Structure 1
Amino acid sequence: MSTVVETVTDLVTPILEEQNFELVEVEFVKEGKSWFLRVFIDKDGGIDIEECAFVSEHLSEKLDTIDPDPIPQAYFLEVSSPGAERPLKKETDYEKALGEYIHISLYQPLDGEKVYEGFLQSFNEETLVLKIKIKTREKEITVERKNIAKARLAIQF
């Protein structure tokens, strides 16, 4: 399935660059009996539905011209914004998230916990520092990036 993701990434990138949009993520997944090709896009100020439709239409046209078909099975194409809780994948995502409230899930527990939410204080290639709240006390924790299964922006309640 990674070849589908790579092919779609190569096809959609010029469309997005032309519009000054950012590619957040491409995924090709089976849910139940159906396949979904999801393309998450963004830009400063957010993406609207017309912009998603524009990218969907142009990407669909490009996919239809490729022979042999890179995606032989039937699938649903979804182009959307990553939403308020967008994933943090690239270095630029982490840079934009400095000082923001984020959610991380870990592969291995740290201090007995596998999930943390807090403010991203700093990061480098190997670690990130989160300011978390434990009851009424604030504490900074350092997390090894190789232990992070998923990271995303979070909404603080």
Structure 2
Amino acid sequence: MSKKVEDLTTLLEPAVAACGFELWGLEFFQQGKHSVLRLFIETEREEGVGIDDCSSVSHQVSGVLDVEDPISGEYTLEVSSPGWDRALFKPSHYIRFIGEEVNVRLTAPIQGRRRFKGHIQAADDVQLSLQVEGVLVQIPLMSIDKANIVPNF
């Protein structure tokens, strides 16, 4: 996780919690003069996250961002639910989804590959064990660029 994403997460987590949601994760993309800040929010409510929830969180977070001004230049704020193909951001996410199938993209190759698709066998604060084509692959969490659940309908 980049320092900027860490700082934004620390800053915005309390604002999201004040609205009654968990900050599932955050993505920040700098694109020249215009950047994108994308927040994923989660709830334990059975009906999940709705558009009014996203609007409420967006309003709350915008206030914090206006006061603290942590992003220079223009940016777009997006707030949404993690969705069926949710990205996994924290060690607790990998632990929660043990047994599920995931797509994983690495920052550097392991065993000559940067992309893996398999089932999570185990996870802790530093490592992910992934069953890929009958082989158990150990992946350091710090080597993961992006990981998403593969929806099973």
Question: TM above 0.5, one fold?
Answer: yes
Deviates more, 1:87-96 or 1:122-131: 122-131
Paired with 1:146 and 1:26, the residues of 2 have a C-alpha distance of 16
Q: How does 1:55-134 map to 2 (within 5 A)?
A: 55-64=57-66, 66=67, 69-133=69-133
Residue correspondence of structure 1 range 137-148 to structure 2 within 5 A: 138-148=134-144
User: What RMSD, in angstroms, separates the aligned Cα atoms of the two structures?
Assistant: 2.9
| Structure number with bigger Rg | 1
Q: Tell whether the 8 Å contact from 2:108 to 2:143 is kept in structure 1 after alignment.
A: yes
Aligned-pair CA distance for 1:53: 0.4
Q: TM-score, normalised on structure 1? A: 0.75
- C-alpha change, 1:43 and 1:2, in structure 2 (3 Å) is same
Pairwise CA distance, 1:39: 1.7
- Structure 2's unaligned 5+ residue stretches are none
**Structure-2 residue corresponding to 1:50:** 52
- Mapped to 1, the partners of 2:14 and 2:142 lie a distance apart of 31
1:99-152: CA deviation from partner (whole Å, max 9, x where unpaired) = 11111123343333221111101123443222223xxxx333333434333222
Query: Which AA in structure 2 matches 1:149?
Result: D
Asked if the contact 2:91/2:124 (under 8 Å) is kept, the reply is no
Structure 1 residues 28 and 148 mapped into 2: Cα distance closer, same or farther (>3 Å)? closer
Provide the rounded CA distance (Å) in 2 between the counterparts of 1:9 and 1:127. Answer: 23
Match of 1:75, SS state, is strand
